[in-house]
């Protein structure tokens, strides 16, 4: 019996796979792979990686801002005082500039919302040749500088622009009827013209996700176009309108180039007042006070914009 068992045992030993033959004593130690540098990198505290961008941000933005704040509490007599704030807040020029800035920003935002909503609906829902090209042009338009649009309006509606030239050629009059670009209404028109695409872009994105079957069902049920717009399209557009309107309000509040290039001498906004105090009057404490106020309003409105965008998911 013992001699017969040995061939079977030898056969079992011979048929073992290489893995079965390899015992614990022949186990190959694991090689050091790419996980080892990753483990070392994990040992570095997370705040170390945040130091370079924070340092760049502090040097480029926070340090100049701190200088502006410091200058705003440094009167010409020397020392540190909040007297410049009291002088600026008590001046009529500051109150007038603040009022002009607010009503121009609010008026431009309202005009951009209405005009942008109408134009976006036409591009999205009214088929016409070149509709896609127009939608692509809006993306390009967003990169244009504001003074370029103002110069275009001056060429058309300026005192010696094309519109006045055609009028004088036809009627023989000495002057044309278009003389509004140097008024607040000209600034309002220029801002609405320039900032409307900033409302249209999110609207077109929202309309592209709207199911056209909803419009067809509403139309088949006898709903008129005005009712379809009010009950179907407008609810879908509200998030994009809120986000785009908030962004336009922030940008209109800080707009400088349009007011400067229109030559509207009677229109003084907060950015124009900063320019006037610093460059023309060399009153740097007052200019810094106005700048601090403008920054505070801008940051508040931008926080509102971010909050609205987060809530509506735009």
Check residue 3 and give its pLDDT. Answer: 45
Largest CA distance in the chain: 134
pLDDT at res. 33? 53
Question: Can you spell out the DSSP letters for 266-295?
Answer: T---HHHHHHIIIIIS--HHHHHHHHHHHH
Domains, the chain, in order of start with CATH, read 91-312 (1.10.3720.10)
Q: Identify the pLDDT of residue 170.
A: 87
Say if CB 217 and CB 265 are below 8 A apart: no
Q: For residues 267 and 261, what is the distance between their CA atoms, to the nearest angstrom?
A: 12
Q: What's the pLDDT at 1?
A: 42
Among all chains, which residue has been given the structure tokens 């094309």? 162
What are 1's two structure tokens?
């019996």
Q: Which two tokens stand for residue 48?
A: 């170390």
For residues 237 and 65, give the distance between their C-alpha atoms in angstroms, rounded to a whole number: 37
The whole-number pLDDT of residue 32 equals 52
CA-to-CA separations, 310 to 56, 160, 203, 306, in angstroms, rounded? 27, 47, 16, 6
Alpha-carbon torsion, ordered 28, 32, 33, 36, to 10 deg: 140
Q: What is the pLDDT along the chain (314 residues), one digit of tens a residue?
A: 444 444 444 444 444 444 444 445 455 555 555 555 555 555 677 677 778 888 887 787 788 888 888 888 888 777 888 888 998 999 999 999 999 999 999 999 999 999 999 998 888 888 777 777 887 888 787 778 888 888 888 888 877 788 888 888 888 777 778 878 888 888 999 999 999 999 998 898 888 887 777 777 777 777 787 888 888 888 888 888 888 888 899 899 888 888 888 877 778 899 999 998 988 888 889 999 999 999 998 888 888 777 776 766 55
Cβ contact 232:215 at 8 Å: yes
The Cα-based distances of 10 to 1, 4, 24, 105, 232 in angstroms read 15, 11, 21, 95, 84
- Predicted pLDDT of residue 171: 84
């Amino acid at each position: 019996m013992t001699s017969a068992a040995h061939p079977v045992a030898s056969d079992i030993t011979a048929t073992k796979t290489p893995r079965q033959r390899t015992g614990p004593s022949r186990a190959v130690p694991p090689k050091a792979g790419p996980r080892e540098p990753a483990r070392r990198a994990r040992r570095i505290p997370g705040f170390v990686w945040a130091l370079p961008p924070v340092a760049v941000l502090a040097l480029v933005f926070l340090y100049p801002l701190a200088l502006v704040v410091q200058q705003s509490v440094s009167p010409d007599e020397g020392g540190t005082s909040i007297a410049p704030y009291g002088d600026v807040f008590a001046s009529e020029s500051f109150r007038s500039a603040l009022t002009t800035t607010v009503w121009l920003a609010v008026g431009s935002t309202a005009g951009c919302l209405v005009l942008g909503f109408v134009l976006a609906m036409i591009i999205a829902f009214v088929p016409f040749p070149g509709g896609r090209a127009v939608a692509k042009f809006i993306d390009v338009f967003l990169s244009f500088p504001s003074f370029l649009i103002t110069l275009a309006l001056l060429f058309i509606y300026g005192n010696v622009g094309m519109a006045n030239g055609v009028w004088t050629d036809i009627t023989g009059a000495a002057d044309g009827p278009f003389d509004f670009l140097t008024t607040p209404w000209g600034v309002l028109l220029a801002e609405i013209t320039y900032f409307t695409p900033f409302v249209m872009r999110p609207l077109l994105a929202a309309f592209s996700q709207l199911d056209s079957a909803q419009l067809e069902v509403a139309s088949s049920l006898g709903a008129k176009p005005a009712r379809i717009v009010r009950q179907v399209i407008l609810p879908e557009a509200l998030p994009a309108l809120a986000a785009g309107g908030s962004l336009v309000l922030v940008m209109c509040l800080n707009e400088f180039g349009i007011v400067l290039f229109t030559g509207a001498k009677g229109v003084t906004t907060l950015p124009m007042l900063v320019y006037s105090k610093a460059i023309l009057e060399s009153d740097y404490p007052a200019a810094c006070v106005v700048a601090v106020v403008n920054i505070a309003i801008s940051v508040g409105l931008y926080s509102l914009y971010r909050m609205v965008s987060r809530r509506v998911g735009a």
